[in-house]
Structures are given as C-alpha cells and as structure tokens.
Structure 1
Amino acid sequence: MPGFEIFDESEKEQINEVMERGFTFRYNFDGMRNDVWKARELEGMICETTGAKHAHLVSSGTTALTTAMMAAGIGAGDEVIVPPFTFVASVEAIVFAGA
C-alpha cells in the first residue's frame, strides 16, 4: 500500500507505545492513563505546525466530513450539491448532518 514507506522507527515506537498501554480510544479511562494523552499531544502539534486555533482527531474520513458539515452549520433544509461521481462518504456526511 503506498504510504507505508514514510514510516520510520520513530512512528513505529509511538504506535507501539499506544498499543502497549492499551488505550486506543481518544476518550475515557482518565484514571488509568497516567496523564498520557497521545491524541491531545498530536492535536497540539497539528495546531503548532499549521497555526490553527483548534485541531480534533477523528476516526475516519466519513466522520471528518460529517464533523465539518455540522461545524459549518449545515443541517435540515440545506441543499448540498455533490458531483455525480464521488465517494459514498461525501453523501453519507450530508445525510448524517440532516441536509
């Protein structure tokens, strides 16, 4: 799969650390994390790198599109136009947002 070659030992170590701790979820298990919040750390790094005020990691492209729709205030009664040839998540996000 294209892209695998960009991962080096640093990325592998970070992934292994997350997997060894057993906390692959962004939320909950606060008392068991020993103040380790990899997702928050990465969100902070994204903000620093891009100059964005906020960053929020999500689990998929579909969730990212849905979150963007809702953040933009798109909802019931709104018309959203998509090309006839697109990935299904583009339309699913519109449906999930209620538009």
Structure 2
Amino acid sequence: MDRTEALSHVLKRIREDKELTQLVVAGLAKMSAASVGNIETHRKGLRISTFFDLCDALGVRASDVLRQAEDEAAQHRGRSRPQKARTGRPPSKKPAP
C-alpha cells in the first residue's frame, strides 16, 4: 500500500469513527458524495485543496491525517515510520548470530 492509498483509508476511517456519512462530509467540504466515495476508495486522485477541505469538514488537522497515513503505509511495508525517518532508508537486516 502506498501513501496515497493509505491517505484514502485514513480519511474514510476518520469519517466512520465520527459516524458521518459521505453525504454529510461532502456537504461540509462543498463537493459531491460521489467524489468523497471515489477518494475513499482510491479511484480518484486527491488534490491538496480538496484534502484540506476534507480535513476541515472532518474537524481534523491535516498534519495528523498525513502522519496516520504515513504510519499505515509504513506498517504495510513492514517498518515503522520513526525508524525510516531517522535513517532515511529502510532498516538493515542483521545476520542471525
């Protein structure tokens, strides 16, 4: 899973956790419910302005959403975000003793 797909999943999870429908979020973000659905299922790209509109509609900080998406993508790649951020590359595999 790449980071953009993880971002779609995080936005959907936040919406569901807040018990909001796609229609409600779409209204708050001034977009169509179909567009929200397409973003959440990763069928449509997400413009940065739309991302900020969705974050505002969901009442969350964009930086928190991005952090969650990075963490989710890293988990699917088998490493944690803090370790990658510290070295700038994947963790090395140490030979077994």
Query: Normalising by structure 2, what TM-score?
Result: 0.31
Comparing both chains, which one has the higher relative contact order based on Cα–Cα distances under 8 Å and sequence gaps of 6 or more? 2
Flag the structure with higher helix content: 2
Query: Normalising by structure 1, what TM-score?
Result: 0.30
Q: Which structure is larger by alpha-carbon Rg, 1 or 2?
A: 1
